[in-house]
Amino acid sequence: MKKSFSLYILLSLLFLNFYNTSFSQEGLDLYKTNKQNYFIEEYNLRESEYLRKTDICSPALVLLFAIFPLNPIVLHEDENFQFGLTKEFSIWKFNYGRIAFEYSRIFRGNNKNHYRFSYNYDIPLGDKKSPERLSIGIGYFTDSKNKGFFPQITYSYALSVCKPFGALMPYAKLRYTFITDENKSNIYDVSAGVAFFIYF
């Protein structure tokens, strides 16, 4: 468990470092001159009064949003229901989709750690500026012993928290994982919560 938690923290720090080094002042200037191509303009993201009055882009708050909250996940495997916590990080580019990493900690005796890498294409619901999206994705799964591939479908709603690059994504997700070992059970899971993603 300590190794998994350490890996989770390491990935979070790497994510924060990527955030700080990737989006320089030059990127902000590009946003100002070409903002019609960015996520806020295209999806009309909402902000609360608190977020509008706060320097929400501080590294500490970005890291907080990147790590928390952890989200519940329920999965069905080997004719049993299992429960756990999961967290997803995404990098999104308009018109190209999202690349996501998800780590899940399952509350059971073995194969507790699930790792998933996926590509997701987001379809706006309603007009082009709607923050509501239906995402269709495919990805790779491993728990260090078993491997597999999965399709997934996600309903989400984008909320801006760090203009112009960071956002929270309340979501509900359905997924079915095909395990490559024929002697192992496939996995069906449902999760819901809040993910954090950056976009450019």
User: What is the pLDDT, as a whole number, of residue 191?
Assistant: 97
Q: How far is CA 32 from CA 28, 113, 173, in A?
A: 6, 42, 34
Higher-confidence residue of 3 and 88: namely 88
Q: What percent of the chain has pLDDT over 90?
A: 41
Give pLDDT tens digits for 133-145: 899 999 999 998 9
Mean pLDDT across the chain:
76
Give pLDDT tens digits for 3-38: 554 555 555 555 445 444 444 444 445 444 444 443
Q: Is 139 exposed, middle or buried (0-12, 13-18, 19+ CB in 10 A)?
A: buried
pTM score, two decimals?
Answer: 0.70
Average pLDDT over every residue of 169-179: 95
Give pLDDT tens digits for 95-123: 789 999 999 999 998 889 999 999 999 88
Is the pLDDT score of 40 beyond 80?
Answer: no
Average pLDDT over every residue of 88-101: 88
Distance of CA 169 to the CA centre of its chain: 8
User: What is the pLDDT, as a whole number, of residue 50?
Assistant: 36
Task: Kindly report the number of other CB atoms within 10 A of residue 98's CB atom.
Answer: 25
C-alpha–C-alpha distance, residues 184 and 168, integer Å: 35
User: What is the pLDDT, as a whole number, of residue 80?
Assistant: 92
What pLDDT band is residue 163 in, cutting at 50, 70 and 90?
A: low
- Range in 38-42, 55-59, 190-194 the model is least confident about: 38-42
Most confident of the ranges 15-19, 123-127, 196-200 = 123-127
Q: For residue 129, give the amino acid letter.
A: K
Give pLDDT tens digits for 42-60: 444 444 343 333 445 566 6
User: What is the pLDDT, as a whole number, of residue 7?
Assistant: 53
